[in-house]
Amino acid sequence: MNTNILVVINIIILLAVIFGLVLLKKKRVSFTIRVILALTIGIIFGTILQLKYGASSDVVKQSNSWFSVIGTGYVRLLSMIVIPLIFISITSAIINQDSKKLGKMAATFLIKLILVTTLSSFGIAGVGGGATFASLIVLPAMGLPVGLVGLLIAIEPLIDMARTLVNVSDSMITGLISSKLMGELNLDVYNSKIKIEG
């Protein structure tokens, strides 16, 4: 079958899934269930596409480029709307608090947040976007609505880039220190500007 026809069929399937999620919203299905359902359907749909056509096939590549229009647009829309809302919400919450109780409330909240986040991190895989899934555990435990996951999706790429930067830097520095302590670091090679291959 023609590649373009297969891509159009995949796009129609994606639009049908989106339409189904919109119908679930009209039927007042909770946001949490819709998010988990969308994630599950997306994983299953992506797996089927890769198993049927192969991960490097033209059908999958072209379908993904069309799928990313929706995903990228959604994240950009959230970023545009959510960031000002977060700033206004935090500012108004702080302004409306009794100043005598604010310090105690902040300390209690932070301690609880650190404990819940630490405990929930044991069950979350260390993959990109894992913070979004961790928030499904942390937010209800903190008494916050699970709908705030949508806010995290908007800023998750920035958080992930910073986390990756820290992990890569730590790995490089650890390797350098280990080599130095074991006496295996050749400072002449390390300081030279010659590119070493192999």
Confidence of residue 171 (pLDDT cuts 50, 70, 90): confident
Task: Name the band, by pLDDT with cuts 50, 70 and 90, for residue 12.
Answer: very high
As a whole number of angstroms, the distance between CA 117 and CA 142 comes to 10
- Identify the pLDDT of residue 198: 55
| CB proximity list for 21: less than 8 A, separation 6 or greater | 34, 37, 38
Instruction: Report helix angle 58-95 to 31-53, nearest 10.
Output: 160
Distances (CA, A) of 27 to 4, 16, 30, 88, 182: 35, 16, 9, 31, 65
Confidence (pTM): 0.44
Four-point Cα dihedral 70, 74, 77, 79, nearest 10: -140
Domain boundaries along the sequence of the chain? 1-96
Residues 168-190: b if buried by 16+ CB within 10 A, e if exposed? eeeeeeeeeeeeeeeeeeeeeee
Rounded distance, CA 186 to CA 183, Å?
A: 8
Query: How confident is the model at residue 23, as a pLDDT?
Result: 92
What number of other Cβ atoms are within 10 A of residue 141's Cβ?
Answer: 14
CB-CB contact of 119 with 47 (8 Å): no
Report the C-alpha gap between 44 and 187 in whole angstroms.
51
Mean pLDDT of all residues in 143-161: 73
Mean pLDDT of all residues in 50-79? 82
pLDDT surpasses 70 at 122: no
Give the sign of the dihedral formed by CA 121, CA 125, CA 128, CA 129: negative
